[in-house]
Amino acid sequence: MDFVILSLIMLAIGIYGLLTQRHLLKVFVSVELIATAATLNFVMLASSTGQGLGEAFMVLAFSTDTAVSGVILALLVIVSKKYGTSDMAELAKMEAERAGEEEDAD
Amino acid sequence: MIFEVLSAGLIISACLAIFLDEAVYSVAALAGTFMFTALLYLANGDIYVAIFQFAVGIGTLAVLFLSGEMLSEKPKQKTSLRSGLTVLVAGAVLSLFPIFLSIPVSIASGSGVSFGEALWDLRAPDIVLQGLVIMTVAIGIAIVLYDRRNGEH
């Protein structure tokens, strides 16, 4: 059983989701998976060395991760309420159209 | 054996979280990922980290379920049983790698610092500053919500 490979596979799944998914919530889920992979690797290595410093770092990392998640989710809700969609491709298209209209107006 | 089962569950639920079409199902699969991670920590003897993972996971998932309900649009076509099974099989195949492969890692022996000592003696300023950051975020959210409510009236 190797936790380094386990966390590498989790990281790969997260990066694949980050690159291929278009729904904003799915992108956020991918970011969570990447964070979980990193913490898993860190905690398992720290516990194999037998010292509590790694665990203490992870407790701090968990709370930072939660604060970041809250801010990302707030931005996500604001964007999807403003534009009426959560699809990144559609959002990019809308933004390009808006920029084009502004250029025409100038 | 328990580690193998937990790691297989972890990878399969991570695959489901990415590949399921509906956002709410995806969040439910992410809940499974968090649960398996916490159980893995628990089985490894890292009790404090497991408790934190449970607590943080529950908080994140509650907010994610709410926003998933708010943001999800009905997918044009439902996930077929065949594609669901394909994801399950892919996850099961991927979970074979950590069971049968290993990377040699040289680990230096630790100085034997306990969790409590590490948290309070070595990282106390971090904890205080992080508490301040989280409190500022909470106050900021409260102010934004208050302003929005006043704006609606």
Q: Is residue B110 part of a domain?
A: no
Collect all residues with Cβ–Cβ distance below 8 Å to B107 and sequence separation of at least 6: A45, A48, A49
Which of A2, A49, A58 shows the shortest C-beta gap to B110? A49
Q: Do B67 and A45 touch (CB under 8 A)?
A: no
Parent domain of A41: 3-105
- Residue B108 inside a domain? The answer is no
* Per-residue model confidence as pLDDT tens digits over A60-101: 787 778 777 877 887 887 888 788 877 888 888 888 888 888
**How many domains does chain A fold into?**
1
Q: Are residues B78 and B147 in the same domain?
A: no
B93 and B133 assigned to the same domain: no
Q: Which tokens sit at A68? A: 């970041």
Test mutation, A7, A10, A24, A29, chain B, max B CBs within 10 A: A29
Query: Is there a contact between B73 and A86 if contact means CB atoms under 8 Å apart?
Result: yes
Same-domain check for residues B86 and B42: yes
User: ipTM score here?
Assistant: 0.84
Same domain, yes or no: B87 and B35: yes
- Mutation for A interface: B6, B13, B18, B73, most A CBs within 10 A: B18
Task: Spell out the per-residue pLDDT of chain B, length 153, in tens.
Answer: 788 888 888 889 898 888 887 878 888 888 889 999 989 888 888 888 888 888 888 877 877 777 777 776 666 666 677 777 787 787 777 777 777 776 666 655 555 667 677 677 777 777 778 778 778 877 877 787 777 777 666
| Closest chain B C-alpha to A80 CA, distance in angstroms | 7
CB-based burial label for A95 (10 Å; 0-12, 13-18, 19+): exposed
pTM over 0.80: no
- DSSP readout, A59-90? HHHHHHHHHHHHHHHHHHHHHHHHHS--BHHH
CATH number of A37's domain: 1.10.287.3510
Residues B14 and B62 in one domain: yes
Q: Token pair for residue A11?
A: 């990281």
Note the pLDDT tens digit of each residue in B102-111: 666 665 555 5
Beta carbons of B14 and A13 less than 8 Å apart: yes
Q: How far is CA B15 from CA A33, A44, A52, B39, B94, in A?
A: 10, 22, 31, 18, 10
Q: Distance (Å) from the C-alpha of residue B45 to the closest C-alpha of chain A?
A: 8
Overall domain count for chain B: 2
* pLDDT value, residue B76: 61
The whole domain housing B138 covers 120-153
- Chain A residues in contact with B59 (beta carbon < 8 A): 66
Specify if B41 maps to a domain.
yes
